[in-house]
Structure 1
Amino acid sequence: MARVSQEHLDARRRQILDGAARCFARNGFHATSMQDVFTEVGLSAGAVYRYFNGKEALIAAISQEAFSGIRAAFEEASRATPPPTPDVLLGRVLRKFLEERIPGADRQAFARLIVQVWAETLRDEWLAARLSEGYEGMRAAWGELVTAYRKNGILHADVPADHIARTLIAVAQGFIAQQALFGDAAVEILEDGLRGLMSMEAQSAS
């Protein structure tokens, strides 16, 4: 019997994860059955169970990819020289991460999937730990970026780097939540809004 190549195994795993992600984004984690996943990916139960032993394993794998992907996207973008301003960086990362993330699904579907993952962390300690790791990693990456802004003379306000980092993470999370709930949050709106806020000048007290 011919040995199945690693490339084939990886492609099959990707097929299953993408199909499961579409199901979860469409119907939610708890309303989706394994039979729904079999139908979506066009594979038998045995073929799917060869890679994942159940729905919880699929949720864990998709969540891990989401956490890792968001963190990696921010870290990659933040390594640019000179460092991109927050409007450019957040726009670049969110556009790359949300658009066409799930083959055959729109970006609102992926945003909904992210929000579901956040909700699952409230009941799943493993997911909560992965989310915490990703959050701390993003705080560190943004903290380094704030330091780079100061070195390049871009940022002058004497505000702790971690405070800025946490605020920008909150902006990204809020954008994803808007996209999930309302579906009309184009990345350009976020970029323009941040650019407008960045143009404000603090007025000294009289």
Structure 2
Amino acid sequence: MARVSQEHLDARRRQILDGAALCFARNGFHATSMQDVLKEVDLSAGAVYRYFSGKEELIGAIVAEVMGEVRAAFEEAARQSPPPPPDVLVATVLGRTLEARGFLGADGQPAFPRLVVQVWTETARNEELAAVLREGYDAVRAAWTAVVRAYQRDGAMRDDLPADDVARTMIAAAQGFIVQQSLFGPVPVEVLRNGLRALMSMGRTSKGS
């Protein structure tokens, strides 16, 4: 029997994850059955269960993957000298994440923000998913804290306040923006960038600075 390549296995796993994420975002986590996922990805039950044992493992894999992408983006920024300013950095990473997960819901609107909010809600009853989310959040926070420390070393940000406090605040800004998109519809990431830029400009007297 012909041996299946790793590339094929990775592509099949990607197909399942993308299809499941679309189902969850479109119909809600509890309203989506594994049969819905099978239909979406057009695969047999055996093919899907080879990779994932059920909905909980699927959503956990999606969460871990997204958090990993965000963490990697900020770890890359931390290696730059100096790293991009917060308004550019937060908007760029969030925009990249939203664009990478650009699938649409049944209403034709971007579905990823709704999926994120559903995941947060699900963690209240699913301890395993909550653990995955906490682990991802801790890793992302560490990456963002490293960026803040780079700002402080370069003299771009005051260094008399804890870097972790600043990192948590930047994360909160991104999370709040996702919630707004989920509740009120899509908004360009430039809105977040401009808002952060305006807040960063407080105390400056020259126009356009």
Considering the TM-score relative to the shorter chain, is it more than 0.5?
yes
Partner of 1:169: 171
Using the TM superposition, name which of 178-187 and 100-109 deviates more: 100-109
The farther-off stretch of 35-44 and 151-160 is 151-160
Q: Which residue of 2 aligns with 1:66?
A: 66
- Counting only pairs closer than 5 Å after superposition, residues 129-148 of structure 1 correspond to structure 2 as 129-148=131-150
**1:158 aligns to what SS in structure 2?**
coil
**Rounded Cα–Cα distance in structure 2 between residues aligned with 1:19 and 1:159:** 43
Corresponding residue for residue 203 of structure 2: 201
* 1:69-111 deviation digits (Å, cap 9, x = unpaired): 2222222233222111110100110011111325566783111
For residues 179-201 of structure 1, the C-alpha deviation after alignment (integer angstroms, 9 at most, x for no partner) is 11122321000001111111111
Paired residue for 2:21? 21
TM-score (norm 2): 0.88
**Which one of 159, 162, 176 corresponds to residue 160 of structure 1?**
162
Conserved in 1, the CA contact under 8 Å of 2:78 and 2:150? no
1:168 & 1:191 partners in 2: Cα distance?
Answer: 11
Partner of 2:207: none
With over 3 angstroms needed to count, the CA separation of the structure-2 counterparts of 1:184 and 1:2, relative to structure 1, is closer
Distance in 1 between residues matched to 2:109 and 2:137, nearest whole Å: 22
Specify which of 127, 131, 149 is matched with residue 125 of structure 1: 127
* Deviation (angstroms), 1:130: 2.0
Larger CA deviation: 108-117 vs 189-198:
108-117
Classify the secondary structure of the residue corresponding to 2:128. Answer: helix
Question: Which amino acid letter does the alignment assign opposite residue 188 of structure 2?
Answer: A
Q: CA deviation at 1:50?
A: 2.1
* Gap regions ≥5 residues in structure 2: 205-209
Within 5 Å, which residues of 2 pair with 1:82-121?
82-102=82-102, 108-121=110-123
Contact 2:103 2:111 in 1 (8 A): no
Residue 60 of structure 2 contacts residue 132 of structure 2 at CA under 8 Å; is this kept in 1?
A: no
In structure 2, the partner of 1:52 is 52
Structure 1: state its 5+ residue gaps.
Answer: none
Structure 1 SS opposite 2:4: coil
The Cα of 1:17 is off from its aligned counterpart by 1.0
One-letter amino acid of the counterpart of residue 191, structure 1: R
Query: Helix, strand or coil for the counterpart of 2:110?
Result: helix
The SS at the match of 1:173 is helix
Q: Percent of aligned positions with the same letter in both sequences?
A: 65
For residue 99 of structure 1, give the secondary structure of its aligned residue in structure 2.
helix
Give me the whole-angstrom Cα distance separating, in 1, the residues matched to 2:123 and 2:157. Answer: 35
Give the alignment's Cα RMSD to 1 decimal.
Answer: 2.1
Q: Which moved more, 1:23-32 or 1:61-70?
A: 61-70
Counterparts in 2 of 1:40 and 1:149: CA distance versus 1, 3 Å: same
The 10-residue stretch of structure 1 (115-124 or 65-74) with the greater mean CA deviation from structure 2: 65-74
Distance 2:56 2:146 in 1: 35
TM-score (norm 1): 0.89
Alignment size in residue pairs = 203
